[in-house]
């Protein structure tokens, strides 16, 4: 997966989880949870969906890398 595809996947999922907020308007380095006002359950839904669509195992220790759009895309596109 390219970083662009990963970025797209993340924003698509966020749009489903928080339909009222537009992830397209938050910066790549903004904290996703703060910017979109996600609670811990929203974030869990986000991780679950991300794990399913990317086919990648995401541990709790990986959560910090999903904090922003930029770091999340890098994480998903990485090895």
Among 27, 48, 64, 78, binds another protein (CB under 8 A): 48
Single out the residue of 11, 15, 51, 65 in contact with another protein (rule: CB under 8 A): 51
Tell me the three state secondary structure of residue 52: helix
- Which of these, 37, 17, 16, lies nearest to 26 by C-alpha position? 37
Closest CA to 68 of 33, 39, 37, 43: 33
**Is 20 an interacting residue with respect to another protein (CB under 8 A)?**
yes
Contact residues toward another protein (CB under 8 A) are: 18-20, 34, 37, 39-41, 44-45, 47-48, 51, 58-60
């Amino acid at each position: 997966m390219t970083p662009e595809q990963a970025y797209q996947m993340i924003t698509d999922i966020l749009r489903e989880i928080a339909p009222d907020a537009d992830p397209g308007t938050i910066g790549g380095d903004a904290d996703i949870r703060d910017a979109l006002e996600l609670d811990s359950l929203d974030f869990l839904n986000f991780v679950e969906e991300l794990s399913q669509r990317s086919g990648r195992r995401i541990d709790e220790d990986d959560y910090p890398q999903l904090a922003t759009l930029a770091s999340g895309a890098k994480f998903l596109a990485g090895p």
